[in-house]
Amino acid sequence: MREIVIVIADLYLPREADEARAAAGALGAPAALAQLLRFGTCTPGAPGGWRDWLARWLGRADLAGVPVANVAAAGSGVREDAALWLATPMHWVAGLNGVHLDGRAILRLADAELASLAADFNAAFRHSAVALQPLGAELLAHGPDAAGIRTVEPARAWLAGLAESLPAGPGATAGALRRLGSEVEMWLRDQAVNRARAARGERTVSALWFWGGPSGPAAPLPPRLHESPAPVPTLALGADAYLAGLARLTGAQARPLPETLEAGAAAARTVLVIELAALGAGEGWSLAGALLEADRRYIAPALAALQRGAAATLTVLANDRVVVMRSGHRLRLWRRPGAGLAVLA
């Protein structure tokens, strides 16, 4: 019997309980997700977020806690026992009081754009301790060696705020990483990819967000990460670089995210990593509309598979919560409706 896991990688609510419940209530939950939240069992996720939870679910607890960039690098066969970071293209929104982030701050560029950015960066910053290369939908940064720096993943930075999410840590290394970020922002203003995107009316790259490297007071580099076969056929669907690396290390088959779950091939275990920022309509995008699209394309088909007995469990990870529904849970008629996304707060 199949297991289906859906990760909503960029749905986070305010940390304060009252604010989180208010935000969840204002957003609302689409029909299939509302049913899942009503009848499923909700528990806190892993301390390291959905990535650590997923590594454990795939039978590789040893990968929980390994820097995100090092696991992601395994997806392309890069030597991952080194100081690596992810450099995510981001777009700042100008406001009256400075720049800020919105729900579509993370940019997913075409392969040619990522290659151009990396090549131009490596030429312009050839004397620095950093080199870039494309890695799926991300850029992989080799160096700097800055263990112990606290960084925030881009999806969380939108909620936490730009200033509060900058690299932090002891010594001068955090400052060096911040300075590099500022220099990159200046360089990007007249970069070829940005000129082309601006001419097409597309969002330009305001910054490269460095994150996912070694953290902790004295974080050692991870050892060489070994690959292992999947105990049952496993399908990993999505554009996330960490998911691709995890798939390679766990013997799962990695594929792009299909238009709908029904378009993806069935497997004993299927995991989808979706980003709300990539769903919905262009400049008319809204978080509520993107959540509705996610519900229609992925959550509703998964729930239908559960209800007709084609799947044994459906798990959704969002806002550091894990919601699990099994086929018998839909008989919990005593559960009152209406809680919606507040269950995730």
pLDDT score, position 200 = 94
Provide the pLDDT confidence category of residue 208 given band limits of 50, 70 and 90.
very high
Asked whether residue 330 carries a pLDDT value surpassing 60, the answer given is no
Asked whether residue 241 carries a pLDDT value surpassing 50, the answer given is yes
- Rounded Cα gap, residues 130 and 241, in angstroms: 19
Q: What is the pLDDT of residues 144-199, one digit of tens each?
A: 776 667 888 999 887 777 778 877 776 556 677 788 888 999 999 999 999 999 99
> 252: alpha, beta or left, given left = phi > 0 and alpha = psi -120 to 50?
beta
Q: What is the pLDDT of residues 244-267, one digit of tens each?
A: 999 999 999 999 999 999 766 678
Q: What is the pLDDT of residues 63-93, one digit of tens each?
A: 998 889 999 998 777 766 667 899 999 998 8
Average pLDDT value for the chain: 84
Burial of 255 (0-12, 13-18, 19+ CB in 10 A): middle
Provide the pLDDT confidence category of residue 328 given band limits of 50, 70 and 90.
low
Q: Domain limits of the chain?
A: 2-65+226-344, 68-211
Give the pLDDT mean for 31-39.
89
Q: Answer whether CATH 3.40.720.10 is correct for domain 2-65+226-344.
A: yes
- Rounded Cα gap, residues 160 and 150, in angstroms: 14
Q: Specify the higher pLDDT residue, 340 or 312.
A: 312
- Rounded Cα gap, residues 247 and 270, in angstroms: 11
Burial of 283 (0-12, 13-18, 19+ CB in 10 A): exposed
User: How far does CA 209 lie from the centroid of its chain?
Assistant: 13
Lowest mean pLDDT among 16-20, 27-31, 132-136, 143-147: 16-20
Asked whether residue 212 carries a pLDDT value surpassing 60, the answer given is yes
Lowest mean pLDDT among 48-52, 96-100, 223-227, 293-297: 96-100
pLDDT score, position 218 = 52
Provide the pLDDT confidence category of residue 25 given band limits of 50, 70 and 90.
low
pLDDT score, position 80 = 62
Six-digit token string for 309: 């007995």
Provide the pLDDT confidence category of residue 333 given band limits of 50, 70 and 90.
very low
Query: CA-CA distances (angstroms) from residue 338 to 24, 297, 304?
Result: 12, 22, 21
What percentage of the chain has pLDDT greater than the value 90?
A: 49
Provide the pLDDT confidence category of residue 224 given band limits of 50, 70 and 90.
confident
pLDDT score, position 216 = 57
